[in-house]
Structure 1
């Protein structure tokens, strides 16, 4: 082997290692049985547990609610609202999350404390879910296990795709609620819109991205066939009867038919390895 061929091989190996996740080379980590992990993303936590790293996890964000055993782990806060001090105090060797979870200043504080940081890109689609699983598994030397998880995801998605769906597609309005004082509806490009579409429905509202406050006028104009909420959100309103007292709800097809669907938030919008199961459950509930 000549010198140029050898150097070319080394460069290719380095490129492959760095492209697996959205981190710089100084943030790569070597994993051993004693490695302590703080996971700052619910979906990442699910994947880490399935890969066999649950015992290594010493802290999680508040969205890391599945499996239920994670509820006993110390909490480091909510995405975009985490403090470096709380994370570092747990003594992790590495912090793992997605690129949307960490502001630049928080990333700098974690690295400056001598803690490794692995951040992965997450795309909210079936392919994005499989890519995230593979990226994490490959980075942690669990490639075979990652491939096994992906096979299960593909089988679950095939079942969801085969589920009976109605035509025309039901109009589904997602309401994010924390009591009647905080009620927002999901627009174009949101995670929840994408899973509604995967389940064979259509977003009842359009013309805006992200979330915007719910108004009675817009609710009546959208006239959804189904109203979808997180189970915690519906509970904050006093369950279905409480939701029906919100101005405009009774005037919609969903309100008239009491077609209200509730699902766990992380399950519905996490786009984790449970994606196929979430799509199938939502499809069965809205059709």
Structure 2
């Protein structure tokens, strides 16, 4: 009987040691990717962030964090300087050797789904929540987003040939297939005028006019770069489109238009309203 009591005592004593072996949830997080950052905030975990990248435009609190450059060109030294215990990155973050270097230095690096599809958004939410140790919050948020997006997609709206433009290095580029912008247009019930091409393609004034879009969506930063709405409407190529003649040019927040993130239902509603 004495030996049994001693064995039981030893087993009980081992329980705290097992509990101590469970990894602590990350407390200092650097996020790479605007929609990843937005999801962290939507999960109520924004207080863990100690840095993010230049694509993290929403919520406003994200823009006040230390920045580590652009998520596709993440600097190793800049990230290390923030002393994170987790780097939470879009699968499109890079370059790969930078993330590999961070991992080799002992940092925990976790990449999450960021493909141009609504299903990827739901996976991204659940993956971010899992990494942060709040899986139930992730399930709740994903369910809410599904309901909001389904409701937005059900709103009736006319169908148009649409084009989403960005202005990079002083030249218009339009979004083709296999992009988040193309996915957004489709979810909003619009036909991408550049769907025959893949990715982002430079457009001359002649090429833009030839596509004859009936709706043009342009990111806010791009609109500012070309001098505002009046300048855009009068610009070569744009001025000759059905979209310009109908006044159907839609400015949209860059992350809202290109991020395919938690505010996707809002983006769909805005496009459907503009399509009327």
1:143 equivalenced with 2:132 (yes/no): no
> How far off its partner does 1:230 sit?
0.5
Partner of 2:11: none
Partners of 2:41 and 2:117 lie apart in 1 by 21
- 3-state SS of the aligned residue for 2:68? coil
SS of the equivalent of 1:154 reads: helix
Aligned partner of 1:277 in structure 2 is 266
1:207 pairs with 2:196: yes
Pick one of 78, 90, 93 that aligns with 1:86.
78
Q: Provide the secondary structure at the position in 2 that maps to 1:38.
A: strand
What residue in structure 1 maps to residue 253 of structure 2? 264
Within 2, Cα distance between the matches of 1:207 and 1:154? Answer: 29
> In the alignment, is the contact (CA less than 8 A) between 1:97 and 1:119 conserved in 2?
yes
Aligned to 1:216: 205
RMSD over aligned Cα atoms: 1.7
Deviation at 1:165, TM superposition (A): 1.6
**Other structure's SS at 2:73 match:** coil
Q: Deviations over 1:193-224 (max 9, x none)?
A: 11001001011124321112111221121111
Deviation of 1:268 after TM superposition, in Å, equals: 1.9
Match of 2:124 in 1: 132
Partner of 1:49 in structure 2?
41
What is the TM-score when the length of structure 1 is the normalising length?
Answer: 0.84
Deviations 1:205-251 (A, max 9, x none): 24321112111221121111111100111111111211123212221
TM-score under structure 2 normalisation?
0.87
What secondary structure does 1:102 align onto? coil
CA distance in 2, matches of 1:30, 1:283: 46
Aligned residues, how many? 255
- Farther-moved stretch of structure 1 (195-204 vs 246-255): 246-255
What pairs up with 1:215-254 in 2 under 5 angstroms? 215-254=204-243
Q: Which is higher, the Rg of structure 1 or of structure 2?
A: 2
Distance 1:267 1:30, change over 3 A: farther
